[in-house]
Amino acid sequence: MSEIKVEHSPSEEQLAKQGVRGWPIWEKEPSEFPWHYDEKETCLLLEGDVVVTPKGGQPVRFGKGDLVTFPAGMSCTWKVNKAVRKHYRFG
């Protein structure tokens, strides 16, 4: 299984090419919860500070301005330290 990929401060040109600003927005208050990815998710954090720990893996921290890709089939725990607001796309 591939790992969580974090790209810090991607260019607006790159984001525009993927149409990120047109993706839906998801928001979550500080909390901790388990999650499973049935399909790949790509997201751009507009706000927040998060640590995601894949089952059997190392914690990955990301926040505002990061473009993050989660692999299909991954089970993990999300720990939202600061409220999250993100654009997201599955598949």
Rounded distance, CA 46 to CA 31, Å? 17
pLDDT, residue 64, reads 98
The residues spanned by each domain of the chain are 5-90
> Which residues have a Cβ under 8 Å from the Cβ of 61 and sit 6 or more positions away?
49, 50, 51
CATH topology assigned to domain 5-90? Jelly Rolls (2.60.120)
Residues of the chain scoring pLDDT < 50: none
The pLDDT of residue 86: 98
- pTM of the predicted model, to two decimals? 0.95
The span from the CA of 75 to the CA of 39, in Å, is 11
pLDDT of residue 80: 98
What amino acid is encoded at 70 in this protein? F
